[in-house]
Amino acid sequence: MSIEADFAIINANELVTLKGSSNKPRVKEYMREIGIIHDGAVAVKDGKIVAVGPTREVLGKLEKGFESIDASGKLVTPGLIDPHVHLIFAGSRAHELEQMSAEGVPYLEIKERGGGMPTTLKQTAEMSTQDTIRKTARILDTMLIHGTTTIEAKSGYEMTFEGELRQLEIIQTLHKIHPIDLVSTFCAQGITPEYETRKDELTDDIVDRWIPEIGKRKLAEYADAFCEKGYFNLDQSKRMLEAGRKHGMKLRIHADWLVHSGGAKLGAELGVISADHLIFTPKADIKALVKSGTVGVFLPTSPFCYVGRYAKAREIIDAGLPVALATDVSAANWCESMQMMQALAILRMKMTAAEALTAATINAAHSIERAHEIGSLEVGKVADIVIFDALDHRYFAYHYGINLAEKVFKNGRLVAQQGRRTP
Ligand SMILES: [Zn+2]
């Protein structure tokens, strides 16, 4: 039987399929089995994958008339997925990183000195919607040229009723106008100065007014909360997340980032889809997350930039928690590259290159409940595919800090090439 294709990527030195785990995320040693095909090929028709396998086999199945794209000496993977992004913000906090890293000023002290999150809340609220869309589209372009084809995008940098609705509307607009798919999350994140000593009141307002409106207008698929020292406590986080669920949202949580806040344990009790950071999470709470079927999301940038301590990836993977990686792009530290996240996971968190790639693809897809469509190269899946100028998947940690993505396909369309968006 011959198969029609629009194009086929052939002769890949290493084609990583990540096949076989669309129903359940990969855990433990299975995170290291990534379905490598040497001299591999993948064929695409109408935006979907129609054949995957060794080049000779795939070519033998295809009808004539397709375009061949040679990937000799290259790595081919599914489009990378970034499941934790604080997408919409204005202003710069570049000077704070210097204070934190060179002078050793702790993150929360930056806020006490008049900087930090409140400055971003103010500047973001002041930026016009048009400018915000333009600025944010540039971030998405950077993600795309680095091989990221789907992201989760959070609101949370205005933290007023109108401001959060505006942010979620902007996320919806960007989802429509940009090739990257955006999965939207309402994130109760920053606290404006007038509520700094009245967080219970702020929580009441979020629960009684913001979340019902967001739910009614179907502006967010997920609700997320900063359950963290200096932000929302356990009780406040729980109330907001329960309200999110009541109004049609599924749940995510920021947990144990700066201290052991108990966020992971709360997340397990609530059955969150993802629990993110997990830097100070004790073993017992990791076990609870395993039981609740949650995906753990590691965010190596803030440890790299200023927290200094990383999640205990080895212990957490060995405990059986499926893990994903994300950039945590935010106003505090800002790197769009999921290639770089893999480098940090390998070089700083003791993950293997295969585990890191699993975490950046199929497990990331599970953490946003999209694994039936994306995250692996399998027949029937969406043709989100990246050709990297790399011999194999270990290059993310070997030749790092630069962009290895040579061609990026989204829904079977070439959207970026040689570091530039294609028209
Ligand atoms: Zn975050």
CATH number for the domain spanning 143: value is 3.20.20.140
Average pLDDT on 34-63 reads 98
Distance from the CA of 1 to the center of ligand 1, in angstroms?
48
Whether 1 is covered by a domain: the verdict is no
Question: In this structure, are 336 and 395 located in the same domain?
Answer: no
Distance from the CA of 178 to the center of ligand 1, in angstroms?
22
* Residue found by looking up tokens 């039936």 in the block: 372
Whether 244 is covered by a domain: the verdict is yes
Distance from the CA of 205 to the center of ligand 1, in angstroms?
22
Q: Residue 324 forms beta bridges with which residues? A: 297
Distance from the CA of 330 to the center of ligand 1, in angstroms?
7
pLDDT score, position 114: 84
CA distance 366 to 180: 17
Lowest pLDDT segment from 114-128, 200-214, 262-276: 114-128
pTM value is: 0.98
Question: In this structure, are 63 and 187 located in the same domain?
Answer: no
Question: In this structure, are 125 and 36 located in the same domain?
Answer: no
Q: Are 266 and 244 in contact (CB under 8 A)?
A: no
Lowest pLDDT segment from 226-230, 233-237, 327-331, 376-380: 226-230
Does the structure show a pLDDT above 90 at 70? yes
Going by the DSSP 8-state scheme, the letter that residue 392 receives in this structure is S
Q: Residue 49 forms beta bridges with which residues? A: 44
Nearest to 341 by CA among 155, 120, 143, 186: 143
Whether 415 is covered by a domain: the verdict is yes
pLDDT score, position 182: 98
Distance from the CA of 159 to the center of ligand 1, in angstroms?
15
Distance from the CA of 341 to the center of ligand 1, in angstroms?
14
- 258, 279, 290, 348, 388 from 303: Cα distances, Å: 10, 9, 23, 10, 27
pLDDT tens, 336-358?
A: 999 999 999 999 999 999 999 99
Question: In this structure, are 47 and 166 located in the same domain?
Answer: no
Average pLDDT on 49-61 reads 98
- 81, 115, 207, 363 from 248: Cα distances, Å: 24, 35, 13, 24
Question: In this structure, are 41 and 94 located in the same domain?
Answer: no
Taking all residues of the chain, what is their mean pLDDT, rounded to a whole number?
96
Distance from the CA of 299 to the center of ligand 1, in angstroms?
8
Average pLDDT on 396-401 reads 98
Distance from the CA of 59 to the center of ligand 1, in angstroms?
44
Percentage of the chain lying above the pLDDT 70 cut? 100
* The two structure tokens encoding residue 358: 């699993």
Question: In this structure, are 220 and 300 located in the same domain?
Answer: yes
CA distance 93 to 86: 14
Distance from the CA of 158 to the center of ligand 1, in angstroms?
15
Whether 55 is covered by a domain: the verdict is yes
Whether 2 is covered by a domain: the verdict is no
Residue ranges near ligand 1 (ion) with Cβ within 5 Å: 328
Coil, strand or helix at 78: strand
Indicate the residue among 367, 388, 404 that finishes a domain. Answer: 367
* The two structure tokens encoding residue 304: 């790299």
pLDDT bin (cut points 50, 70, 90) of residue 111 is: confident
pLDDT tens, 207-218?
A: 999 999 999 999
Question: In this structure, are 175 and 186 located in the same domain?
Answer: yes
Question: In this structure, are 334 and 382 located in the same domain?
Answer: no
pLDDT score, position 103: 87
Q: Which domain does 28 fall in, by range?
A: 7-79+373-421
CA distance 255 to 273: 13
Distance from the CA of 378 to the center of ligand 1, in angstroms?
31
pLDDT score, position 281: 98
One DSSP character per residue, 130-161 reads HHHHHHHHHHHHHHHHTTEEEEEEE--SS-SH
pLDDT tens, 280-292?
A: 999 999 999 999 9
Question: In this structure, are 72 and 102 located in the same domain?
Answer: no
pLDDT score, position 102: 84
Distance from the CA of 16 to the center of ligand 1, in angstroms?
29
pLDDT score, position 106: 87
Question: In this structure, are 338 and 413 located in the same domain?
Answer: no
Distance from the CA of 189 to the center of ligand 1, in angstroms?
8
Q: How far is CA 340 from the centre of its chain?
A: 13
Distance from the CA of 332 to the center of ligand 1, in angstroms?
10
CATH number for the domain spanning 20: value is 2.30.40.10
pLDDT score, position 308: 86
Distance from the CA of 156 to the center of ligand 1, in angstroms?
10
Q: Are 381 and 77 in contact (CB under 8 A)?
A: no
Whether 148 is covered by a domain: the verdict is yes
pLDDT score, position 270: 98
Does the structure show a pLDDT above 80 at 1? no
Question: In this structure, are 259 and 349 located in the same domain?
Answer: yes
Distance from the CA of 277 to the center of ligand 1, in angstroms?
8
Does the structure show a pLDDT above 80 at 80? yes
Lowest pLDDT segment from 73-77, 227-231, 380-384: 227-231
Number of structural domains the chain divides into: 2
Counting every residue written for the chain, the total comes to 423
pLDDT score, position 306: 85
pLDDT tens, 255-275?
A: 999 999 999 999 999 999 999
Whether 261 is covered by a domain: the verdict is yes
Whether 251 is covered by a domain: the verdict is yes
Distance from the CA of 414 to the center of ligand 1, in angstroms?
30
Indicate the residue among 325, 352, 367 that finishes a domain. Answer: 367
Question: In this structure, are 297 and 238 located in the same domain?
Answer: yes
